[in-house]
Structure 1
Amino acid sequence: MRMTQILLWLNGFLWFLFFYMVFFVVPSDAAQGVAQRIFYFHVPTAWVSFTAFTVSFIASIRYLKKRDLQLDKLAAAYAVTGWIFTTGVMITGPLWAKPIWGDFWNWSDQRLMSFFVLWLLFAAYGLLRFSMPDSEKRARFSAVLAILGFLNVPLVYAAIRIWNTPSHPAAVIAGKKGSGLKDPTMLWTFFIGVIAFHFLMWALARALKTYYIQKSTVEQQIWKNEFKGE
């Protein structure tokens, strides 16, 4: 418990530092101006969603091997958390794109569409868990869908580097001339944001796992009461 409190206080400090640097320290981009500050929320959110889906992927594989419902709860918590963060990406992306590139969305952009497919896959994951009452069947189907959904993560990551489209910025760290962040303050702000968002991911997934465990306990109790009534 003490370690959890320390981590939460550290997360609070990181968020304060992050907001302060984004709005008061980091210089505005020469080409994009103030709108570029959305980047410090948009890209870390995407990175964190990849981390969450990776944890869900590993937990899902382990569940299929061990059939331990605790692993199912862990996989579900991180899958839903990842989907929440992808939703954040889907919101901040168009808000950034409109003033810079003139459109909220470009349906012909492979980068955008690959991420949209990822969002849809894990939206389907959430619907599957909501609509399937049988816990064993739900866990098994969810694990398979989480694994299939994760396979799109490398494609999304590679798309940023493979397809060069005008409606999406270059990779943050690409090693190419004209791409990435140049100012050290920008880099520091970005990585502080990445750490802060990862702390937020951990806290949210932890809360969701607790919720799923409590929900499962209630469902088991209801099932026992119905069984006794028969």
Structure 2
Amino acid sequence: MRREMLTVAVALTLLGLMLAAITLWLGFTWAPGVNPDDWKAPEAYRILFWHVPAAWASFQAFTLLFIGSGAWFLKRLEWGWKLHVVGAQLGLVFGLCVIISGPIWGTAEWGTPWDLTDVRLNTYAVLTSLSLFLVMGHQAQPDTEDTRDTFSSVGLFGFILVPITIMAIRIWQNRHPGPVIGGGEGSGLDPQILMVLLFGLFSFQILVAGQVMLRYIIVGLEDRLTEIQGKLDTRF
């Protein structure tokens, strides 16, 4: 069963990466340009075809982190802890994709990579930093119930930042652009741009599914290895 799951996980991950690469190619070659009168760096907008899907993938990872944290903290479910670890790892991976790609666009469009007065930018940076803290903590601290409880509580309370980050561009919009879909008057996308963006979102969904399965298997193997090592240390 584990071997079949591993095969599916690897296949989905490779497929997701391939489709994500196609998304980037379509974004640079097929998607039309935007009105140069509305933007200082009109060609830089093409980075959104990875930036936006990566952001939504990270929000899904933070949701997995929240669910896993709750399952462990409240019910002591082993799968919950594994999901907590997977969510933290993927939150960091996709969070870094957003943190890296966003400032590239910001430098081209705004003339600065970051704005410390923008709520959306700063709350998202805290979310990614939270994932970094958890990933480093998992590696540095012994795997005990008290340690798991501490990290799970961080995952639970840290999730509060997710809805704040999502709604920030609607409530406290400053530097970060407002929502391009469902953002009211003036929002909306060219049909070709929207098609590529939706394809990118679909690609990253497949990538997320593959990575969740793959990392869940890896976490299980790591736990098994730790258990075997503990038995050997006790015996010898």
- Given that 1:122 and 1:149 are in contact with CA atoms closer than 8 Å, whether structure 2 keeps it comes out as no
Aligned length: 227
- One-letter amino acid of the structure 1 residue matched with residue 151 of structure 2: S
Q: Please give the alpha-carbon distance, in whole angstroms, between the structure 2 residues aligned to 1:53 and 1:135.
A: 23
- Given that 1:56 and 1:79 are in contact with CA atoms closer than 8 Å, whether structure 2 keeps it comes out as yes
**Which among 164, 171, 183 is matched to residue 175 of structure 1?**
183
- Given that 1:48 and 1:201 are in contact with CA atoms closer than 8 Å, whether structure 2 keeps it comes out as yes
- One-letter amino acid of the structure 2 residue matched with residue 99 of structure 1: A
CA 1:223 to 1:7, structure 2 compared with 1: closer, same or farther past 3 Å? closer
Q: Which has the higher contact order (CA 8 A, sep 6+)?
A: 2
- Whether 2:84 is the aligned partner of 1:75: answer yes
- One-letter amino acid of the structure 1 residue matched with residue 171 of structure 2: I
Q: Please give the alpha-carbon distance, in whole angstroms, between the structure 1 residues aligned to 2:49 and 2:156.
A: 29
CA 1:122 to 1:13, structure 2 compared with 1: closer, same or farther past 3 Å? closer
- Range with bigger deviation, 44-53 or 4-13: 4-13
Deviation at 1:13, TM superposition (A): 5.8
Q: Please give the alpha-carbon distance, in whole angstroms, between the structure 2 residues aligned to 1:8 and 1:223.
A: 32
Q: Please give the alpha-carbon distance, in whole angstroms, between the structure 2 residues aligned to 1:182 and 1:139.
A: 44
Give the TM-score normalised by the residue count of structure 2. Answer: 0.87
> What are structure 2's unaligned runs of at least 5 residues?
none
Deviation at 1:223, TM superposition (A): 1.0
- Given that 2:12 and 2:210 are in contact with CA atoms closer than 8 Å, whether structure 1 keeps it comes out as no
CA 1:138 to 1:168, structure 2 compared with 1: closer, same or farther past 3 Å? same
1:40-94 superposed Cα distances (whole Å, 9 cap, x missing partner): 1111111110111112211221222331223211221122101211111110010
- One-letter amino acid of the structure 1 residue matched with residue 184 of structure 2: K
1:94-122 superposed Cα distances (whole Å, 9 cap, x missing partner): 00011111111111212211111111222
Aligned pairs (5 A) from 1:169-208: 169-179=177-187, 181-208=188-215
CA 1:152 to 1:196, structure 2 compared with 1: closer, same or farther past 3 Å? same
Q: Please give the alpha-carbon distance, in whole angstroms, between the structure 1 residues aligned to 2:92 and 2:17.
A: 23
Identity of aligned residues (%): 30
Q: Please give the alpha-carbon distance, in whole angstroms, between the structure 1 residues aligned to 2:141 and 2:15.
A: 38
What is residue 31 of structure 2 aligned with on the other side? 26
Give the TM-score normalised by the residue count of structure 1. Answer: 0.89
CA 1:102 to 1:176, structure 2 compared with 1: closer, same or farther past 3 Å? same
> What are structure 1's unaligned runs of at least 5 residues?
none
What is residue 94 of structure 2 aligned with on the other side? 85
What is residue 165 of structure 2 aligned with on the other side? 156
**Which among 221, 229, 232 is matched to residue 214 of structure 1?**
221
Tell me, what secondary structure is at the counterpart of 1:108? coil
